[in-house]
Amino acid sequence: MSQKQTTTISVIKADIGSLAGHHVVHPDTMAAAAKVLAEAKSKGIVIDYYVTHAGDDLELIMTHRKGVDAPEIHETAWNAFREAAKVAKDLGLYAAGQDLLTDAFSGNVRGLGPAAAEMEFIERPAEPVIVFMADKTEPGAFNLPLYKVFADPFTTAGLVIDPKLHDGFKFEIYDVMAGKYVVMNAPEEMYDILALIGTPGRFVVRKVYRKSDNEIAAVVAVERLNLIAGQYVGKDDPVAIVRAQSGFPAVGEVLEPFAFPHLVAGWMRGSHFGPLMPVAQRNARCTRFDGPPRVVALGFQIKNGRLIGPADLFDDPAFDEARRQAQVIADYMRRHGPFMPHRLGPEEMEYTTLPQVLQKLQSRFVESKLYQVKGPKVKTELLHE
């Protein structure tokens, strides 16, 4: 009996320049990228593709048979971004080529600026997949929703009543500072999982697997752009892929956590906390204070590698209340101005442009003899001594 063929879905994104500030992708740049992917399809490199955007990020959704981290696929995406960036420069768009941190492709886009979420699987007879695309935030923005989808029975009823889900899921959690990861089981290690992912700026849910058979359920792009570049060049704006139905949470269960516009890091200059607003594709335009942070959800069926769809899943009045709450939260947070907790804490601001402002003040600080701070030094290498 021959082994069944696998399908890979790759979602690779980059900010290659946008119209009127960090606002929205220009259609001409999307057309330039689509031309590259169309050529790749004609050559059999990809089976199918869909080009879209979330705010100022150009999003490439591709299906193929080459597996995760395939150089040919990543090079195709890189070439698409390069062509789109050329158009952006010709049009004088803002921050043209921002996420392309080098001129040379080295076999994989990881570490070069773009972010990638990819998963490989054997297609089910019906294969519903949701692609989430966020703007003005970081990869840890998906921590809370993915925990609720795959570990919270108050969100996902299937964890209680569906025998295919009842055994739970495994979370692969990545430490973006140390470059290490740990795999933990839910529900057995729920509290330990929360101890980590409750710090989304450092510990990020990278993958989720069904525990009963190790089948891939979800994957997140975990690239932290400022850590790659060594300086602030824009927020990470992550993407995620989630499989749904028939042994995985239902589409409605996957979407449910986004009815709560939880606070995420990013927004203006990547330096502020704000609500993650679920929006329709047509409203994936970040304007107010370059935000607030947005997330788009596109639903596809995948059949023999073909992308059927998409369905614009947040284009629904059922999420109007979440959007209204996000507006209220945005008002409340904005009134803090430059004060925490609207502005990020010092450990996060270290990777923004604020240190350049503070540097000039260093020589003006005078040693105080009033008291000396004593006590144990804070460990920075959590779990990795």
**Binding-site entries for beta-D-fructose 1,6-bisphosphate:** 22, 94, 107-108, 136, 245-246, 269, 290, 351
Binding-site residues sit at 15, 22, 56-57, 94, 98, 107-108, 135-136, 235-237, 245-246, 269, 290, 351
Q: Taking Cα atoms as reference points, which of 119, 116, 118 lies closest to residue 214?
A: 119
Catalytic residue among 41, 180, 235, 331: 235
Binding-site residues for Mg(2+) sit at 15, 22, 56-57, 98, 135, 235-237
Binding-site residues for dihydroxyacetone phosphate sit at 22, 136, 269, 290
Four-residue CA torsion sign, 297, 186, 116, 118: negative
Element (H, E) at 74: helix 71-90
- DSSP 3-state of 92: coil
Distances (CA, A) of 70 to 105, 143, 174, 295, 307: 13, 26, 21, 27, 19
Catalytic residue among 15, 48, 152, 175: 15
Is residue 232 annotated as part of the catalytic site, yes or no? yes
Length of the chain: 385
Orientation of helix 190-197 relative to helix 143-151, angle to 10°: 170
Is residue 15 annotated as part of the catalytic site, yes or no? yes
Q: Residues 99-105: contacts with CB within 8 Å, 24+ apart?
A: 99/14, 99/15, 99/16, 99/225, 99/233, 99/234, 100/14, 100/16, 101/228, 101/229, 101/233, 105/74, 105/75, 105/78, 105/79
Helices (H) and strands (E) in the chain, counts: 10, 15
Catalytic residue among 49, 50, 147, 232: 232
Is residue 148 annotated as part of the catalytic site, yes or no? no
Active site residues: 15, 232, 235
